[in-house]
């Protein structure tokens, strides 16, 4: 049964960046708080929300500082050890 | 020696002086000089213009500063003072004098740098470059942080460690630059420009501690203007806590050290983000539990209604109806029977009143002929000598008709 309420094609949770996952999670929390959802839809949203929160957690845990340098107009990698 | 065919050019004083003037004034070097010397013969007439001679042990140079430049002097001039004067060489034809037309004077030696600092500071302040209204807020959760600093040195290392600890998901873009020496100011200006082309959310301008000379590049007018004109907000973290450079005044936010600058650039940290995620997860759970309990209550009320509508219930209900109807029918019948019996009683009474027995009781008699039993109601029905029976209320009498 097609869901008439999808506004955009949903990416899998694994494809999302931290900002994307966080934004969608907030949307879901607001949706469950306010609107009248069908029970089945609410449960689906809840499950997606859980997956999104887990994804955010993973990204935060695994994060490593990305450092690049710019010389003129060119962005290059930066090696911190070269001192 | 043979005389030349053409005579050498004949000069007038004016022409020669004019020639000398043009010679000097068309010389680029002489139009932008800094000259060091000692002030003597200082004169400040009412006109506001300042006249003095700059000298050293071997030469003297007459100087004049027009009153508009003199008014901006952040320096009290005195005979004997060692100064550096900036200006251009010109010729005052009337007196056949070359002189320095001065536009800037600064003290030399101790405190000279400070004088210059104060001069620039008041000039830029008057332009409004340091005004609080110009300062923009620093984004609380930047995605991209630009850093202008030396690629070697502790400042960068400390900042990267701080950022790594506080917000490893941020992207750092470094624009390396010398931070002291004569090559520093243009390099710093270019670094700021290159970074802005990459649209960072915030730029950190940083240098470790040093003397006022070491930090001097961050008082350079070009660098200060680049900071003020940056598209991205700038956090300035130059030197130690007690060092103040003009970049600190022009920046959107001053940090006491490079490490502090990195902290100010990352107001929201990794642990804040983790807490936020946990909190959202809790809210998610709470909402779904609310929804479930709502649904449960709804279902419960439906079940109750359903039970109320069950066949069992309906049967009971119907029984009750039947009982009810029966009772009504019964009482209605009873009522009718009562009515009927009243009527019957009534009729019985009337009947009794009309009965022949009642008539007989009143004294009337029924006469019948003995021979055929017919009732005698008229005289002619009986002849004399006939035997008759006279019925009275309580019995019969035999009789014979006499006439």
Give residue A35's pLDDT band: very low, low, confident or very high (50, 70, 90).
low
Neighbouring CB atoms inside 10 A of B40's CB total: 13
Q: A with B: how many residue pairs have Cβ under 8 Å apart?
A: 100
- Matching residue, tokens 């009290």: B76
The pLDDT value given to residue B2: 59
Q: What is the pLDDT, as a whole number, of residue B166?
A: 94
Q: Which of B222, B251, B221, B219 is nearest to B237 (CA)?
A: B251
In tens digits, what is the pLDDT along chain B, a chain of 403 residues?
556 666 677 899 999 999 999 999 999 999 999 999 999 999 999 998 999 999 998 999 999 999 998 888 877 888 888 899 999 999 999 999 999 999 999 877 656 777 788 889 999 999 999 999 999 999 999 999 999 999 998 999 999 999 999 999 999 999 999 999 889 999 999 999 999 999 999 999 999 988 778 899 999 999 999 999 999 999 999 988 888 899 999 999 999 999 999 999 999 999 999 999 999 999 989 888 888 888 888 888 888 888 877 788 788 888 888 888 888 888 888 888 888 888 888 888 888 777 777 788 888 888 988 888 888 888 888 888 889 899 888 888 999 988 7
Tell me whether residues B163 and A65 touch, CB distance under 8 A.
yes
Note whether A32 contacts B291, CB cutoff 8 Å.
yes
**CA–CA dist B176, B178 (Å, integer):** 7
pLDDT score for B120: 92
Q: Which chain A residues have a beta carbon less than 8 Å from that of B288?
A: 32, 42-43, 46
Residues of B with CB under 8 A from a CB of A: 143, 151-152, 157, 160, 163-164, 168-176, 190, 194-195, 197-198, 270, 273-274, 276-278, 280-281, 283-285, 287-288, 291-292, 295
Give the Cβ contact number of residue B291 at 10 Å. 20
Predicted pLDDT at B334: 87
**Which residues, 6 or more positions from B230, have their beta carbon under 8 angstroms from its beta carbon?**
B192, B196, B203
Q: Say whether pLDDT at A3 is over 50.
A: no
What is residue A8's predicted lDDT score, i.e. its pLDDT? 47
Question: A1 vs chain B: nearest CA distance in angstroms?
Answer: 22
A18/chain B closest Cα distance in angstroms: 9
Q: Is B261 helix (H, G, I), strand (E, B) or coil?
A: helix
- CB burial string B378-402: b at 16+ within 10 A, e below: eeeebeeeeebbebeeeeeeeeeee
pLDDT at A2 over 50: no
Instruction: Using the CB atoms, write b or e for B293-302: b if 16+ within 10 Å.
Output: eeeeeeeeee
- Partner residue opposite B274 with nearest CB, options A49, A50, A60: A60
- Containing H/E element for A56? helix A39-62
pLDDT attached to residue B342: 87
Measure the CA–CA gap between B312 and B130, rounded to whole angstroms. 87
**Closest residue in A to B163 (Cα–Cα):** A65
Q: How far is B170 from chain A (nearest CA, A)?
A: 6
Compute the distance between CA of residue B252 and CA of residue B132 in angstroms, rounded to an integer: 8
Nearest to B291 among A42, A56, A67 (CB): A42
What is the pLDDT, as a whole number, of residue A81?
66
Query: Nearest-CA residue of chain B relative to A51?
Result: B281
Cβ neighbourhood burial of B171 (10 Å; 0-12, 13-18, 19+): middle
CA B352, CA A82: separation in Å to the nearest integer? 144
Give the model's pLDDT for residue A82. 54
Domains observed in chain B: 13-108 (2.40.50.140), 135-270 (3.40.50.2300), 359-400 (no CATH)
Asked whether B307 and A73 are in contact (CB, 8 A), the reply is no
Q: Does pLDDT of A6 surpass 50?
A: no
Q: What is the mean pLDDT of residues A41-64?
A: 89
The interface predicted TM-score of the complex, written ipTM, equals 0.78
What DSSP line would sit under B174-228, residue for residue?
Answer: EEE---SSTTHHHHHHHHHHHHHHT--SEEEEEE----TTTTGGGG-HHHHHHHH
Enumerate the β-bridge partners of residue B43: B51
R_g of chain A computed on alpha carbons: 19
Pick from A60, A68, A70: which is nearest to B194 by CB?
A70
Q: Which residues of A touch B187 (CB under 8 A)?
A: none
Question: Is the pTM of the predicted complex or chain greater than 0.80?
Answer: no
Residues of A whose CB is below 8 A from B171 = 66, 68
State the pLDDT confidence band at A10, using cuts at 50, 70 and 90.
Answer: low
Classified as helix, coil or strand, B387 is: strand
Is residue A16 within 8 A of residue A8, CB to CB? The reply is no
Instruction: Tell how strand B366-369 and strand B253-254 pair up.
Output: unpaired
Q: Which residues pair with B106 in a beta bridge?
A: B84
Strand partners, B100: B63, B89
pLDDT attached to residue A4: 42
Nearest to A67 among B152, B174, B270 (CB): B174
Q: Which of B221, B223, B204 is nearest to B122 (CA)?
A: B221
């Amino acid at each position: 049964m097609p869901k008439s309420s999808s506004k955009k094609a949903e990416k899998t949770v694994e494809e999302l960046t931290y900002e994307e996952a966080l934004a969608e999670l907030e949307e879901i929390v607001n949706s469950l708080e306010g609107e009248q959802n069908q029970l089945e839809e609410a449960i689906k949203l809840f499950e997606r929300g859980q997956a999104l929160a887990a994804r955010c957690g993973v990204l935060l845990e695994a994060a490593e500082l990305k450092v690049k340098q710019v010389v003129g107009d060119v962005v290059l990698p930066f090696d911190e050890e070269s001192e | 020696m043979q005389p030349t065919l053409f005579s050498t050019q004949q000069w007038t004083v004016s022409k020669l002086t004019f020639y000398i003037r043009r010679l000097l004034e068309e010389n680029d070097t002489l139009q932008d000089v800094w000259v060091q010397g000692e002030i003597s013969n200082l004169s400040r007439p009412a006109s506001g213009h300042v006249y003095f001679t700059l000298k050293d042990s071997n030469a003297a140079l007459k100087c004049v500063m027009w009153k508009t430049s003199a008014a901006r002097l952040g320096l009290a001039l005195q005979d004997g003072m060692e100064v550096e004067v900036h200006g251009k060489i010109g010729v005052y034809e009337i007196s056949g004098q070359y002189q320095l037309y001065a536009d800037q004077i600064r003290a030399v030696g101790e405190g000279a740098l400070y004088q210059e600092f104060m001069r620039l500071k008041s000039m830029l302040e008057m332009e409004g470059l340091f005004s609080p209204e110009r300062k923009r807020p620093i984004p609380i959760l930047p995605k991209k942080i630009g850093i202008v600093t030396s690629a070697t040195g502790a400042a960068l290392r400390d900042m990267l460690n701080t950022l790594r600890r506080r917000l490893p998901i941020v992207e750092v873009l470094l624009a390396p630059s010398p931070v002291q020496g004569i090559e520093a100011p243009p390099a710093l200006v270019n670094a700021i420009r290159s970074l802005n082309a990459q649209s960072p959310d915030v730029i950190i301008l940083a240098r470790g501690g040093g003397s006022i000379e070491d930090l001097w590049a961050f008082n350079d007018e070009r660098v200060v203007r680049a900071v003020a004109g940056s598209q991205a907000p700038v956090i300035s973290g130059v030197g130690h806590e007690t060092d103040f450079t003009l970049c600190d005044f022009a920046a959107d936010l001053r940090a006491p050290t490079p490490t502090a600058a990195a902290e100010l650039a990352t107001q929201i940290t990794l642990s804040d983000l983790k807490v936020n995620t946990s909190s959202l997860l809790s809210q998610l759970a709470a909402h779904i539990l609310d929804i479930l309990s709502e649904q449960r209550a709804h279902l419960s009320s439906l079940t109750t209604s359903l039970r109320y509508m069950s066949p069992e219930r309906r049967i009971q209900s119907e029984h009750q109806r039947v009982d009810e109807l029966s009772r009504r029918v019964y009482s209605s019948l009873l009522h009718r029977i009562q009515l009927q019996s009243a009527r019957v009683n009534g009729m019985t009474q009337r009947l009794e009143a009309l009965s022949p027995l009642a008539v007989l009781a009143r004294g009337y008699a029924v006469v019948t002929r003995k021979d055929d039993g017919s009732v005698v109601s008229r005289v002619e029905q009986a002849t004399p000598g006939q035997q008759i029976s006279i019925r009275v209320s309580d019995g019969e009498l035999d009789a014979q008709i006499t006439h």
